[in-house]
Structure 1
């Protein structure tokens, strides 16, 4: 090879070489100048490696920014553009677990436990539908130009079902866990590099929406209602773009919330009832999404998601 070419490459390399050490390099090599500055009271540590400093109350805005940035940057690196969010109760169990609880209650002859177990059996169909829906989303969108990834709150119940369905067909899925006073460990089906943990509920809910092209709400309690109504409010008020909101189980939702009463008393517009649809099965939910986006017609995706 021409020596002049080698020399030119050498010079080019020098011209474009990094000017400063990386933060990672500095963090690895930092050493206190003497034991005097190595104690817990010392302020000598680099600010971004000093956990006590980062956890100060005055640093809350910095921590909030980090909590916004970490999931955003990781998902960009993983080329995740479009997601479907599955909301639902942590207390709904799989069908096999529900049947086992029922058998145990019958054996014990405990009427209270029997009634609870019968409810578990009845509600377990939602676990199986969430699991089937996540499988459908993952399998059907696998070949899209922009695959669609399932997102859940990362915990047990319906959340586990969503991550499990994607996992069972070899797909990735996302879990947005939250730190709670009672321990909530991530379910075992989330893709490890997409398993996040949040301190702030608000930022977690923002990440649910940032890439979502659809929201699927299964029966749930206060947490599910909070997530669902915040999303509906943002859509209703035009603070985020419209997207399908699917409520699984008409009977459950209409017994829980009297939507007609909200219209009759003027609390919402009749048109607001079109912000969501009821569905009963995974296949019906996918058909609603397909009708809205035309997946089967183009089978090429494109960018569906926009930031909130």
Structure 2
């Protein structure tokens, strides 16, 4: 028996067009007359927050499913990491030194994309926050390899438009940090973390907490630049204090180069068998 449920009733688009044309009376000018799904003032009310959360979860999910994106390689890292050619203009000497991480992220994304192109932009697609710095480097490397990449942007008071290297059809914009972070991890086959600030630390530690607590399947978590990460986080002190276990230090690895990262991904126990799962999907 054929399923004609989608053609049985008049579609929402047709009614939207008809409602736009019916504007000739005082009643049709009233905000109360607007179709609920076409009424921006209504959708932005505080009471509609649950609906907006659901929409932010659904829209990227549906588009990525339609594009048949099965798995991603996530790149987290600082927006302030400069391109090597701009290192002299960096606000601190340390930031200038970290410009090499831009190039390493670019190389890594290019190498990952070259390996995944046979899958038709469906497997191991580079996914970044869509901004400048390390994020730009990741999208740039994917574009240079001739592949596509994902950018998960978020609206911030000081934020810029997405970088020029994100695949336009895979560029998304978020209001809710929590939903954005969910989308980073829902398809992640590896999480690669470059030096960064509060946002990068937030993304790293949320990923580690989900894996540590069994709320997400274990995937490779690779920290680029051991000297930076051991300088900003005393990992061993956490284990020595007992606030984490010694085994928790095995949830991530330090790498220095794109080649090391690829080898770590390939040799990680269980690598390539499943994509990340988050409860409630």
Greater shift after overlay, 176-185 or 142-151?
A: 142-151
Counterpart for residue 274 of structure 2: 304
How far 1:306 moved relative to its partner? Answer: 4.1
How far 1:17 moved relative to its partner? Answer: 8.7
The higher radius of gyration belongs to 1
TM (norm. structure 1) is 0.84
RMSD value, Cα = 2.2
Counterpart for residue 89 of structure 1: 78
Unaligned runs of 5+ in 1: 1-11, 103-112, 296-300
Greater shift after overlay, 22-31 or 192-201?
A: 22-31
How far 1:46 moved relative to its partner? Answer: 0.8
**8 Å CA contact retained: 1:248, 1:279:** yes
**8 Å CA contact retained: 2:185, 2:276:** no
Counterpart for residue 154 of structure 1: 130
Residue aligned with 1:214, SS: strand
From 65, 70, 82, the counterpart of 1:76: 65
- Equivalents in 1 of 2:205, 2:270: separation in Å? 26
> 1:188-227 counterparts in 2 under 5 A?
188-227=164-203
* Runs of 4+ residues over 6 Å off in structure 1: none
- Equivalents in 2 of 1:235, 1:16: separation in Å? 41
Change in Cα spacing, 1:257 to 1:181, as seen in structure 2 (3 Å) is: same
How far 1:141 moved relative to its partner? Answer: 1.7
How far 1:35 moved relative to its partner? Answer: 2.5
Q: How many residues align?
A: 275
TM (norm. structure 2) is 0.92
How far 1:197 moved relative to its partner? Answer: 0.4
From 33, 38, 58, the counterpart of 1:44: 33
Unaligned runs of 5+ in 2: none
- Equivalents in 2 of 1:83, 1:254: separation in Å? 27
How far 1:291 moved relative to its partner? Answer: 1.4
- Equivalents in 2 of 1:32, 1:144: separation in Å? 49
Change in Cα spacing, 1:272 to 1:16, as seen in structure 2 (3 Å) is: closer
**8 Å CA contact retained: 1:32, 1:44:** no
> 1:135-284 counterparts in 2 under 5 A?
135-144=110-119, 147-284=123-260
